[in-house]
Structure 1
Amino acid sequence: MLDRTTTPLLSLIRRRRPNYSLEAPFYTSPEIFAADLEAIFEQTWIFVGVEPDVPEPGDAMTVDIGANAILIVRDDDNEIRAFHNVCRHRGARLVHDEKTTVGNLVCRYHSWTYDLSGALIHAEHMGEGFDRKCHGLKPVHVRSLEGLIFICLAEEPPADFDEMAAAMGPYIAPHNIREAKIAYQHDLIEPGNWKLTMENNRECYHCGANHPELTVPLFAYGFGFAPEELDEAEREQAARYGCLVTDSHRAWENEGIPSRMLEHLDDMVTGYRTERLPLDGDGESHTMDTKAACRIPMGRFPSAKMGGLHFWTQPNSWHHFMGDHAVTFSVIPLDAERSLLRTKWLVHKDAVEGVDYDLENLISVWMSTNAQDSELVGFCQSGARTAAYEPGPYSPHTEMLVEKFCNWYIGRMRAHFDTTSPSL
């Protein structure tokens, strides 16, 4: 029987069977979890938040990626900066709250003080030979994609972020993320490996049976289907949906709103996918009645019925942008069998809760969906621990994008650990 804790990582990577789920150690092994942090979360661009997390100069937020503590601040010139959240004196954590506002960054241990550019500006009793210029905070690469904040812990980050940003910028810009505010944030600890959370997101094979709230604003044929299993009436409905998508894309793009699908999930290091899709019912937002949840539009659109733009990035995020609000999701690995799913709902910065939007209506679809998905991820994690688990085949009609996620993941692991293999 396979020893799930000592099987060499390289052999697991090399024998991965395409179009099948990963072997159990990828979901259960602490050693492979550590390898994931090294090869994936310390080498690629990671989505961590939005500019409304730090809306004003002096605003700061923190996030932990494995053993790495990261500090993100807006400086006095209104620029977003990121640093290791570690004092250069004796390594104490600088900022302890997830969100705060500061004038300077002051270490509580010995009062070493840094300005918002990361420069050390005060350190008592260090002697005449001490050079403050050599002890500034260690920077972390940070980029804002139209208000979405990404960091990279690698010394040399993947250069293809620029390619992704150039393609995605026109899609996201109309949603005006920088002029939004966070109406609500919810942190959920999912009982599963981070890859199971991502795999679950990359398909909707499970949606019809598990997500009654989510399937209200979404068309059933947008989930994928097997054409050979449809009767004549169902084939006609699927064809009408295909025409609706094509016609919607043409109409939206005629209004200057990019909408057509772009997909580079497994052929770029900074993998991504986007597409704007029509919504069912009244078709305005991800709500139970499919009407806009917020009275004040968040974006600049000619109509309330602009569908929903989805945007996925490897390895850890997905996003939904509507005319009235946006929802962002980030997955942060905690250990081999637990992950943090952080969800943020954004509305226009001038919108007032209870006047312009009802919070329960705004968040109900995804609060329910996240809880349902968390339970499903836990079922998969429990199964991966058993002796009976073996990789199962993906549906070629509804799980193609799960395969693209796993193919991207194995490619990144191979590039980092298997020097004999070609990589992107």
Structure 2
Amino acid sequence: MTTIADTTPAPSLERLVERRIPGRALEAPFYADDDVFDLDISAIFTRHWLFVASTAEIPEPGDYLTIDIGPYPILVIRDDDGDVRALHNVCRHRGSRVLSESSGSTGNLVCGYHQWTYATDGRLLHAGQQAADFDKTCYALKTVHCRVVGGLIFICLAADPPSDFDDVASRTLPYLAPHQLHRTKVAAQLDTVEDANWKLVMENNRECYHCEAGHPELMYTFFPTYGYAEDEIPPRLMPAHARYLQAQADLESACTERGMPYEEIEEIAGRPSAFRIQREPLDGAGESYTLDGSAACRKLLGDLDITRLGRLSLHHQPNSWFHFLADHAVTSMAIPLGPERTLVRTTWLVHEDAVEGRDYDADNLTAVWRRTNEQDAELVVRAQSGVKSPVYEPGPYAPNEYQVDSFCTWYIDETRKYLRS
């Protein structure tokens, strides 16, 4: 018989982190406790590089978007020179948010409270009536570290961001370059607030143990052997594995002919800017994420000349995952809103010259990942409900969930470093 004991004092954050058992899920407080959530913002989301948008989302000077990282309101804008900048969206007068809309376009940045006015690079231009010795140069908007990698915008709130991001950028850029994201536009964007902790969202994304039963639309093109070691593939999946091996050989040949890297780089633990990148084949027609695997957009990205180039998948911790295909790209990010609420934003990009209704149908383009996102949202809500039960105990990961284990190991390592700093 299971007994329930709910009188045990909550462990300290340090103790909770130190007693994590490798190979098993995290304890319940990691997914629901207010103090752990505050720790996550401080140890993870203000100290690491975060994906926040693609350059296609702010294509022209003055275009901007805003986003909150914990208590930090952030403004990402393309300045008058066309450079992408990130600024704290906090007026230097009395702290009002300068821009309140989620996105838009502006000439100057005008605070709606007392009309302090800033240039798109953050310089203070106008502050009304001030004392004679007032120096405008001392009151620019505070900056946030910002990097653009192959059309992907990353920011870091730390005073000294992790320096290993330079290595990540240099190694991933050759994979991204053929897709020329700087020549794309937004075809669709979907915001979903999932009622679950951000770690459950990321853990769910790092395994496909649940895919066969949970994602029928995705499985038209996603090989069911993903995550299995060669000698651990169940007999029932061997026909799919044979298709995968042939598709992989064809993909490698096409990539070699075009000078495109495809090899796996997997460093999802053991470094601050943990990541994984690999170009892999798709099942079905092998061209795109659609219900039959055929291309969803007639206008291919960049200067790509064939549709059957599989999927280039990139995962970057703590908050993003991407799929780049010959005909379109899908970017996804997770931003924690609270201990049990997470914003998941998915954006579909197509060639800048693609015309809806002629080159692509938006419903067809987005169908697979829209449905997959809905299914994932349901799954993580079920997980959130379960881990809050007094009888929940962290269970063991299956071999094909090794990336989840690595993600949790990375999270614990980075949190431990913060607590000891």
- Bin the TM-score by the shorter chain: over 0.9
Instruction: Give 1:388 shift.
Output: 1.1
Once residues 99 and 368 of structure 1 are traced to their aligned partners in structure 2, the CA distance between those partners, rounded to angstroms, is 25
In the alignment, residue 173 of structure 2 is paired with which amino acid? Answer: G
2:257 is aligned to 254
Instruction: Give 1:61 shift.
Output: 0.8
Asked if 1:115 is matched to 2:119, the reply is yes
TM-score, length-normalised on structure 1?
A: 0.95
Once residues 8 and 311 of structure 2 are traced to their aligned partners in structure 1, the CA distance between those partners, rounded to angstroms, is 41
Choose from 41, 56, 80 the match for 2:60.
56
Q: Does the 8 Å contact 1:200/1:377 carry over to 2? A: yes
Choose from 345, 357, 372 the match for 2:348.
345
Asked if 1:370 is matched to 2:373, the reply is yes
Q: Does the 8 Å contact 1:4/1:24 carry over to 2? A: no
Alignment CA distance shift 1:215-1:125 (3 Å): same
1:408 is aligned to 410
Asked if 1:16 is matched to 2:20, the reply is yes
Q: How does 1:104-143 map to 2 (within 5 A)?
A: 104-143=108-147
Instruction: Give 1:281 shift.
Output: 1.4
Asked if 1:79 is matched to 2:83, the reply is yes
In the alignment, residue 18 of structure 2 is paired with which amino acid? Answer: R
2:185 is aligned to 181
Q: Does the 8 Å contact 1:5/1:31 carry over to 2? A: no
Once residues 221 and 288 of structure 2 are traced to their aligned partners in structure 1, the CA distance between those partners, rounded to angstroms, is 7
Segments of 5+ residues of structure 1 without an aligned counterpart are 420-424
Once residues 266 and 216 of structure 1 are traced to their aligned partners in structure 2, the CA distance between those partners, rounded to angstroms, is 31
Instruction: Give 1:351 shift.
Output: 1.2
Q: Does the 8 Å contact 2:225/2:233 carry over to 1? A: no
Q: Deviations over 1:233-287 (max 9, x none)?
A: 7547535634642552244133111111011111221111011111111111001
Q: Does the 8 Å contact 1:4/1:28 carry over to 2? A: no
In the alignment, residue 105 of structure 1 is paired with which amino acid? Answer: L
1:94 is aligned to 98
Worse overlay, 104-113 or 249-258: 249-258
Q: How does 1:186-225 map to 2 (within 5 A)?
A: 186-224=190-228
Q: Deviations over 1:172-225 (max 9, x none)?
A: 111111110111110001110000000000000000001000010112223536
Once residues 17 and 249 of structure 2 are traced to their aligned partners in structure 1, the CA distance between those partners, rounded to angstroms, is 39
Once residues 76 and 84 of structure 2 are traced to their aligned partners in structure 1, the CA distance between those partners, rounded to angstroms, is 7
In the alignment, residue 29 of structure 2 is paired with which amino acid? Answer: P
Once residues 131 and 71 of structure 1 are traced to their aligned partners in structure 2, the CA distance between those partners, rounded to angstroms, is 24
Q: How does 1:256-271 map to 2 (within 5 A)?
A: 256-271=259-274
Secondary structure class of the residue paired with 1:351? coil
1:422 is aligned to none
Instruction: Give 1:137 shift.
Output: 0.3
Alignment CA distance shift 1:258-1:121 (3 Å): same
Asked if 1:154 is matched to 2:165, the reply is no
Q: Does the 8 Å contact 1:62/1:72 carry over to 2? A: yes
Asked if 1:390 is matched to 2:381, the reply is no
In the alignment, residue 170 of structure 2 is paired with which amino acid? Answer: A
2:175 is aligned to 171
1:68 is aligned to 72
Q: Does the 8 Å contact 1:58/1:73 carry over to 2? A: yes
Secondary structure class of the residue paired with 1:380? helix
Corresponding residue pairs, total? 417
Secondary structure class of the residue paired with 1:366? helix
Once residues 3 and 256 of structure 1 are traced to their aligned partners in structure 2, the CA distance between those partners, rounded to angstroms, is 62
2:292 is aligned to 289
Choose from 312, 329, 334 the match for 2:315.
312
Once residues 264 and 140 of structure 2 are traced to their aligned partners in structure 1, the CA distance between those partners, rounded to angstroms, is 43
Secondary structure class of the residue paired with 2:107? coil
In the alignment, residue 76 of structure 2 is paired with which amino acid? Answer: I
Secondary structure class of the residue paired with 1:222? coil
Q: Deviations over 1:119-145 (max 9, x none)?
A: 101111111011101000000000001
2:336 is aligned to 333
Segments of 5+ residues of structure 2 without an aligned counterpart are none
TM-score, length-normalised on structure 2?
A: 0.96
2:419 is aligned to 417
Indicate the percent of aligned positions where both proteins have the same amino acid: 48
Once residues 226 and 383 of structure 1 are traced to their aligned partners in structure 2, the CA distance between those partners, rounded to angstroms, is 33
Instruction: Give 1:320 shift.
Output: 0.4
Instruction: Give 1:301 shift.
Output: 2.0
In the alignment, residue 324 of structure 2 is paired with which amino acid? Answer: F
In the alignment, residue 396 of structure 2 is paired with which amino acid? Answer: P
In the alignment, residue 410 of structure 2 is paired with which amino acid? Answer: W
Once residues 235 and 365 of structure 1 are traced to their aligned partners in structure 2, the CA distance between those partners, rounded to angstroms, is 25
Instruction: Give 1:3 shift.
Output: 6.4
Once residues 229 and 194 of structure 1 are traced to their aligned partners in structure 2, the CA distance between those partners, rounded to angstroms, is 30
Once residues 115 and 415 of structure 1 are traced to their aligned partners in structure 2, the CA distance between those partners, rounded to angstroms, is 38
Q: Deviations over 1:74-101 (max 9, x none)?
A: 1111100110001000000001111111
Alignment CA distance shift 1:2-1:48 (3 Å): farther
Choose from 340, 355, 358 the match for 2:358.
355
In the alignment, residue 375 of structure 1 is paired with which amino acid? Answer: E
Choose from 387, 395, 399 the match for 2:401.
399
Secondary structure class of the residue paired with 1:117? coil
Instruction: Give 1:352 shift.
Output: 1.4
In the alignment, residue 385 of structure 1 is paired with which amino acid? Answer: K
Q: Does the 8 Å contact 1:213/1:365 carry over to 2? A: yes
Q: Does the 8 Å contact 2:223/2:240 carry over to 1? A: no
Q: Deviations over 1:24-54 (max 9, x none)?
A: 0000101100000000000000000000111
Q: Does the 8 Å contact 1:48/1:149 carry over to 2? A: yes
Alignment CA distance shift 1:189-1:310 (3 Å): same
